[in-house]
Amino acid sequence: MDNLLIHGGQTLAGQLRVSGAKNAALPILAATLLTSEKTTVRNLPHLHDITTMVELLGSLGADLMVDEKLAIEVDAGTVNVLRAPYELVKTMRASILVLGPLLARFGHVEVSFPGGCAIGSRPVDLHLKGLEAMGAEIQIEEGYIKARRKGRLQGADITLETVTVGGTENLLMAATLAEGKTIIRNAAREPEVVDLAQCLCAMGAKISGIGSSTLEIEGVPSLHGADYTVMPDRIEAGTYLVAVAATGGRLRLEGAVPHHLDIVLEKLREASASVTIGDDWIELDMEGRRPKAVTITTAPYPGFPTDMQAQFTALNTVAVGVGRVTETVFENRLIQTHEMNRMGAQISIEGNMAMIVGQEKLKGAPVMASDLRASASLVIAGLVAEGQTRVDRIYHIDRGYECIEEKLQSLGADIRRQPG
């Protein structure tokens, strides 16, 4: 099993281009199942989760072509299998996103319960309740969700009990082909949900309220193909900004969408970073300063993203002062703090809150990643630690970061991948 070997202490500086957003690309790839026409998806990141979703589409019978620019053309007119198998679904939670499109278009589907990062309870019951409200009949048998409909799905007024990105996306896709109007209340507002909605509109869907907590979808009999470019990855962008800030360095990010990161940039400014933005770029400069500790509380968008919590926890370990990090979205997402303490961090946990007393430096140590964002935070900790840090179980990081060691090397980091 591969690991990352990091010799810390370098001040990072340079320029990077942001990759396409994994969390937008996955539902958009699932949305290609809604039409029998060809759909081209561009700006896909080269990640294991993307490969898994493409394999899943292929296993359903979709015809896939990759062009010289690595855009994928999906022809879902050839789909002839309506079962998403455990072998593929177990590795990636986003596999559940084929449920709504296949049910809406074909009338029945079987999807294994999904896997993914072990960061706490992420039940799919809200997906299922919403589909049942639209007329689906759902049974759970032998680890599979078996859903069918009689006639078209019917428009419904659905209020989600809690904000759920995946649930919003699944119901949004299903509703595009339902008969009549569907209203999704308490919908997730994340930019990735907006990107999916805009892709669906490019395919002929009728959606209003995009970007708000109430989505209205007027169902249509069929969707057509489209050529769509996936948005930049705001979490990748935020991760590199935090990594450079922790080392006291400077960075220019090209191809970013600054307003997707408003609260993250605000917290970086609180940490004493100089941050400037343009239409599609972000510049950060610590001017050699050690960061100041910041306090964050995670919340659904436009609040502070849970996917950036671990990275700021790492920054706080070497900041001036005491930072508090409160995780309100997932119950197991402070687990990386135990590994950071092995590197000399001073972090105490009380319930869902971590109190971090900043140290001048951490010390390198072997550490083990437990999930995608925790692995990124341990890389950041390694970059600011004296000596050598080995990050094991980096298959997590390969699910969400494209060529992370190469991008960090281009900024001056001493980091390399080696076989386990």
- Of the candidates 25, 400, 24, the one whose C-alpha atom is nearest the C-alpha of residue 194 is 24
**SS3 for 319?**
coil
**Bridge partners, residue 26, by sequence:** none
Q: What are the backbone dihedrals phi and psi of residue 314, each rounded to the nearest 5 degrees, phi first?
A: -65, -45
CA dihedral 414, 415, 418, 420 (to 10 degrees): 120
Catalytic choice (117, 199, 201, 403): 117
Q: Decide: 388 and 413 in contact? Cβ < 8 Å.
A: no
Counting other chains too, the contacts that 396-399 makes at CB distance below 8 Å and 24 or more residues apart are: 396/117, 396/369, 396/370, 396/371, 396/372, 397/4, 397/369, 397/372, 398/47, 398/48, 399/22, 399/47, 399/48, 399/49, 399/92, 399/117, 399/372
Distance CA 408, CA 405 (A): 5
Q: Is 117 a catalytic residue?
A: yes
Cβ within 8 Å of residue 259, ≥6 positions away: none
Catalytic residue positions?
117
